[in-house]
Amino acid sequence: MLSRLSKLVSMMQTELERLKELSLAEHLGRLHRLWRTVADVELAPLGLTHPRWTALWKLLRLGDNLSQKVLADALEIELASLMRTLGQLEEQGLVERHCCDKDKRARIVSLTPAGLEVLKQMEARIIQVRRELLDGISASELSEFERIISLISDNASAKLAKVTDTIL
């Protein structure tokens, strides 16, 4: 009887450990949603929704004059979704789209002077949000956290590569 009880307790502890591991993914997902929501609230007064500000931010980081396809791929969204967002940004006067000289089918996205100005305001607000959310975390703790997140990301990418290779 005691042996069975020990096995049951051991199984429950193992299951609890598995739940804790799953909990890490839940924590990361919750952190992502909270951070995004805080940023969205902070940037809303600039007339920017999440899709709009992420498209502007990515355009700035990757360099101006990108094709819509390259921008959609970088944002990891469908081109149709990006087209809607770019239309809204165009209406706000923050981006312009024009035909590519080399490929008339491709459309190039460029920031306007108004878009660059909004990005300056965005950057200041995002830096402040980052400061507030990371308050109480030392530089070494943040560095270690970033190292661990990168390692988990690399492991997930390697796992996906194996799965993809197996399927193909």
Instruction: Say which amino acid occupies 148.
Output: I
Distance of CA 86 to the CA centre of its chain: 18
Single pTM value for the model: 0.74
pLDDT of residue 116: 96
Could you tell me the CATH number of the domain that includes residue 76?
A: 1.10.10.10
> What's the domain range around 122?
48-135
- Contact (CB, 8 A) for 59 and 109: yes
109 located within any domain: yes
In which residue are the tokens 């190292």 written? 147
Low-confidence ranges of the chain (pLDDT < 70): 1-5, 8-9, 12, 16, 19-22, 167-168
128 part of a folded domain: yes
What is the pLDDT, as a whole number, of residue 95? 97
> Is residue 86 situated within a structural domain?
yes
Task: Encode pLDDT of 104-149 as tens digits.
Answer: 777 899 999 999 999 999 999 999 999 999 999 999 999 999 999 9
- Note whether residue 11 is domain-resident: no
Is 42 a member of any domain?
Answer: no
Looking at the 3D structure of the chain, how many domains does it have?
1
Nearest to 133 by CA among 62, 37, 43: 37
pLDDT of 5: 62
Residue at 12 is within a domain: no
Query: How many beta carbons lie within 10 A of that of residue 3, not counting itself?
Result: 7
3-state DSSP helix/strand/coil percent for the chain, to nearest 5?
75, 5, 15
CA distance linking residue 51 with residue 4, whole number of Å: 55
The answer to the question of residue 21 being in a domain is no
Let me know if residue 20 belongs to a domain.
no
Which are the contacts of 95, defined by CB distance < 8 A and separation ≥ 6?
56, 59, 86, 89, 109, 110, 111, 112, 115
3-state secondary structure of 127: helix
